[in-house]
Structure formats: C-alpha cells, structure tokens
Amino acid sequence: MDPTPEQYALLRLLEEGASIDEWRDEQNLYELSVLIQDKVLGLTIYRAARKVGLTRQELLEAIAEVKQRRNGHVALLQGQYPKESLTALLADTIPAPMQLFQGLMHEGMLLFGGKSKRGKSWLMFDLAISLSVNRAGFRHFACPQARGVLYLALEDGRARLQGRARAIQPNLTTVNNFHLMYDFPPLSEGGIDLLAAEIAHEQYGLVVIDVLAKLETSTGLKSDKSYHDIYETFAPLQALRKQHPFCLAMLTHLRKQEADDIFDSLLGSVAYQGAQDVLWVLERKPKDEFAFLHIRDKDAEDKIIALRFLDGHWEWEEYEVSRDQRKIIKVLSDERKEMSIQELMRAADFPVEKYAYVRKLLMLMVNDDLIHRTRRGHYSVTLRGSIEMGDMDAPPDVDERGDRVPF
C-alpha cells in the first residue's frame, strides 16, 4: 500500500525514535491499525516498537483497544442518529402545522419587517387581539380557535397600547389570555431561556417580539451573525415547539436601500432570514389607507395580500379588477415602452384620486406575472399578460424562433 503523507510522516517519527507516549497516542494507534495490514510496513512497525520496549503483542492489544473504543462510539452515534426509509416516510401520517389563521399564519418562526411608522406594530397587535378572542384575521382569515398571546411591547408604552386596543375593538374589556411585557432581557443574556419558560408555563399560541433589535446584544462588530449562531440562539424554542406548537413573530425594520427582491430589504443578516419559517414585509406609503403584505413561506408559494386600514383596524381587500387590468395591459402594449404609475394613469384615464388603487392593482398584476416592474418603478407587459388578457393587442414582436416577446 502507499501511505498518505500523514501516515508516512508518522512512520518516520516512529522509526527515528518516538517516545512511548507517542506510540500509545490514540490517533497514532488508529493509523497503525491500517498500516500493519501491509506486510512490509507491518514488519517495519514491529521492529521500531521493539526499540522502545513495546512487544508485538502489546502493540496489537493497544490497537485492538482503540478500534473497539471507536467502534463503540460509532455504534452509539448510530443509535442517536437513526435512518428512515422513504417507504416509512410515505406511510407516516404527519400532522399539518397548527394554523393560527387559515391561509395566513401558522406555527413556526416569523420575521416581519416594515418601514418605521407604517403600521406594522398596529397590524401585529390587531392580529394578536383577533387570535386571543377567536376573531378572523383581517376580518377574512378564519381563526380555528382562540389562543393565548404574549406580546413583548418593547417600544410602545401602556397608554399607546391601550388606545390602540380600543381603536381596534372598542367593545373589548376582558382578554385574560393576552399578556403584555414592556421590558425583557436580551436573548443572549437569559432572555431566550425566560421566553421558553413563559411559553411552556402559559402555553401561548403566539409570541410577538416588538422589536427584535431591543433583544439583540450589540458586539460592536460589523460582521453579521452566522446562520449557526442564530440557529443555536433559538434552538431551545425550536425544541419546545415539538412539545407545544406556537408562532414566534419578530418585528424588524427595513433597510433604506431599495432591493429588487423586497425580502432582501429586511433589516438583519441573511442568516436571520434563513433561520425563519416565514418572512413578512409590509409595504405602505405614508398615511396611505392601502397596503400590501408580502409573504414568503418555506412551504408555500410567495403571495401578496392587499389590506386596507379602516376604522382603526386592518382589513383584507379584494377588488374587481379584470376590466382595469385589461386597460393597463392595452396601454402598455400600445405605448410599447416602460411606463411609470403617473404615465399609466394619464394614458388609461384614471383620476388622480385613484392613485392608491392603481398602485395596488399594479402590485397584484406583478405578483400574477401579468406585468413586470423594473427597479426604477416602471412597468412593462409580460408575454403571459398579453396572452391571458385574451391576446388583446398583444405586442407583435417575435424573437429569432418566431415566438412573440414582450417589449
């Protein structure tokens, strides 16, 4: 056999007069168990061992002991990390994740971002109240049952939250399963253990951290935390979820820089996003009653929910938009260029007061791949858009294969 460079270096060390401790080193003995399988190398090893007073039998016994110890350790690990056949997996009945609101929120870790003063705290507080009183989320998404809530309100005071609760549901007086805390230790300084203890004791269905930055310890370093660091931080909660399902919703802000993918705007490291089961981003113009909730779920397709802030609470919105969709696609097809919202509104004869409606409509059309949005906030029709709108004035351009392409 041809020894590896490391094995060759070990042979030279032993031949040149290694100490008895080096002969009895566990890793060295394990390497020797391989080398002595070769007759020539085995003779060389036995001869070198005799020089330090180690007989062949003593050497073989030491090697056997090391191999037995290692095999026992491997067997122990095999018991700790069992295998499963695909047949067994397919035959198993795996319960679906616990739904807090059908089609909207389920158990797991959720990172929710939005720009400052755009209503994300109000939105989450609204949902938390809905869950605690068994009311549909956003007056649309069914709540299977009332569940306890722990809300860590680390930025808003009691007076503000009282006013917010009364605005959301004026007749609300008794909600004993909704608990608030206004101060909490950092996650790395006992906070995660305290949180796990509170969840285990009260059996909360939803825990909200508003905001996450308040529970993070600044290291003064520019480098982001690794995925491993974040995973280890939340490991106690993930283990607890196996015994008692719950959703941990953590609120954060958005970066100032624009991003092609809106989820890349979430403040925090990419590792933080990777450790989550669900990402939410609230998109809303200042003081606009309309908003979009972008949702990315590891177990579902990305989607956008249209919302409207009405009478102190958030409501799900649905428009009859087919006629206006056709109008927008016709304009984009006729103009054969990328257009801004303002240009589209003028060309399609939308009144100025419908700006929020048109912006919302465009976002929904982008989500359905009917139109494309560039980084500069301009829009163009997609091939799917021209086809699905009944081929109405579709762009006649063709590529080198004769297939039509959008401009």
Least confident of 28-37, 313-322, 367-376: 313-322
Confidence of residue 400 (pLDDT cuts 50, 70, 90): very low
At 8 the pLDDT is: 85
Say if residues 253 and 300 touch (Cβ distance below 8 Å).
Answer: no
At 178 the pLDDT is: 98
Burial of 367 (0-12, 13-18, 19+ CB in 10 A): middle
Say whether pLDDT at 322 is over 80. no
> What average pLDDT is seen over the chain?
86
Q: 293 φ, ψ to 5°? A: -105, 110
208-262 tens-digit pLDDT: 999 998 998 765 444 456 777 777 888 888 888 888 999 999 999 888 777 767 8
What stretch of H or E contains 15?
A: helix 5-15
Task: Transcribe 96-129 into DSSP letters.
Answer: PPPEEETTTEESEEEEEEE-TTSSHHHHHHHHHH
Q: Which tokens is 78 given?
A: 């095999």
Say whether pLDDT at 316 is over 70. yes
> CA-CA distance, 210 to 363, in Å (whole number)?
27
Task: Transcribe 270-285 into DSSP letters.
Answer: HHHHHT-SEEEEEE--
Say if residues 347 and 331 touch (Cβ distance below 8 Å).
Answer: yes
Instruction: Kindly indicate whether the domain formed by 322-388 is annotated with CATH number 1.10.10.10.
Output: yes
Architecture of domain 99-316: 3-Layer(aba) Sandwich (3.40)
At 217 the pLDDT is: 75
- As a whole number, mean pLDDT of residues 379-384 equals 86
pTM of this structure: 0.67
Say if residues 354 and 345 touch (Cβ distance below 8 Å).
Answer: yes
Domain positions in the chain: 5-80, 99-316, 322-388
Residues whose CB is less than 8 angstroms from the CB of residue 77 and which lie 6 or more positions away in sequence, other chains included: none
Q: Is 26 helix (H, G, I), strand (E, B) or coil?
A: helix
Burial of 267 (0-12, 13-18, 19+ CB in 10 A): middle
Name the most confidently modeled range: 20-24, 107-111, 256-260: 107-111
Q: Which residue has the higher pLDDT, 163 or 395?
A: 163
Least confident of 38-52, 105-119, 201-215, 309-323: 309-323
At 39 the pLDDT is: 87
Q: Report the candidate in 164, 226, 232, 220 with the shortest Cα–Cα distance to residue 192.
A: 232
> CA-CA distance, 344 to 346, in Å (whole number)?
5
> CA-CA distance, 285 to 375, in Å (whole number)?
17
At 219 the pLDDT is: 54
* Helices and strands (DSSP H and E) totals, the chain: 15, 13
Say whether pLDDT at 394 is over 80. no
Say whether pLDDT at 194 is over 60. yes
Q: Which tokens is 107 given?
A: 């158990």
Residues whose CB is less than 8 angstroms from the CB of residue 51 and which lie 6 or more positions away in sequence, other chains included: 17
Say whether pLDDT at 290 is over 60. yes
Burial of 222 (0-12, 13-18, 19+ CB in 10 A): exposed
